[in-house]
Amino acid sequence: MRRLWLFSLTLLLFLPGCEEPEVEVTLPKEVEKRMEEQLHVDIVVPPAEKLAVKYAEIRYPPIVNQQQIAGPSVAVIVYTDEKGELLPLTDEQRAVMRNRQQRELFYGEYAGRPVIIMEIHTMKNFLADAQSQLIEGMAVEYGQKETDSGTYAFYSFNYDDTAYTTTFLLQNGMTTEAAVDFNRKLIRLLKGQGES
């Protein structure tokens, strides 16, 4: 009985630390690998400070006259600052996503507000009406837009035969400086330089 009590006490001491991880949380490596296999390209999904991945999916080119038209597939990884419970999805709903919407969910979807949306395109991409800046020696296009739902910052750059586009909701501590830092971390990881 005493051992059970000590075990319970020890467990309770560690449980509060499980509520909010101190480390940055990113997409599980096995999910990232499955997405790479579907896209036929290597992808990088950086951790984001105090954020967790809400969901990860691939959007495929549309089907016209029962044939998939040529076009890029896009990996979409969405980060949230308030990751909630896993939202239930039936097999029928998954089938509709895949067959009608040309989307395949690989991770999540968890409840929570989207803060960062990262898209990885299987062909080069450019932003319209964008400015350009160098981040880690790479030309990155960027822009900003205000909408009824908030202010968004957009960044896009091409790397090899892929394009990375990141969208940030600028509120609650998310700043343009934090957005540039995220892109800096992403570019360093792509170049194999780690997170220094």
pLDDT in tens, the chain (196 residues): 443 333 333 333 333 333 444 445 678 999 999 999 999 899 999 998 889 999 999 998 877 777 667 677 899 999 999 889 999 989 999 888 888 888 999 999 999 999 999 999 988 888 888 999 999 999 999 999 999 989 999 999 999 889 999 999 998 889 999 999 999 999 999 998 655 4
Residue-wise burial string across 141-170, b where 16 or more C-beta atoms lie within 10 A, e elsewhere: bbeeeeeeeeebbbbbbbbeebbbbbbbbb
Using DSSP's 3-state secondary structure scheme, residue 177 falls into helix
Kindly report the pTM of this predicted structure.
Answer: 0.82
Residue 135 located in a structural domain: yes
Residue 185 located in a structural domain: yes
Residue 121: strand pairing partners: 74, 163
- Give residue 42's domain range: 25-190
Residue 50 located in a structural domain: yes
Residues 120, 124: Cα–Cα separation, whole Å: 10
Residue 20 located in a structural domain: no
What's the domain count of the chain? 1
Residue 71 located in a structural domain: yes
Residues 84, 4: Cα–Cα separation, whole Å: 31
Residue 11 located in a structural domain: no
Residue 153 located in a structural domain: yes
Residue 181 located in a structural domain: yes
Q: What is the pLDDT of residue 193?
A: 64
Which residue type sits at 100? Answer: R
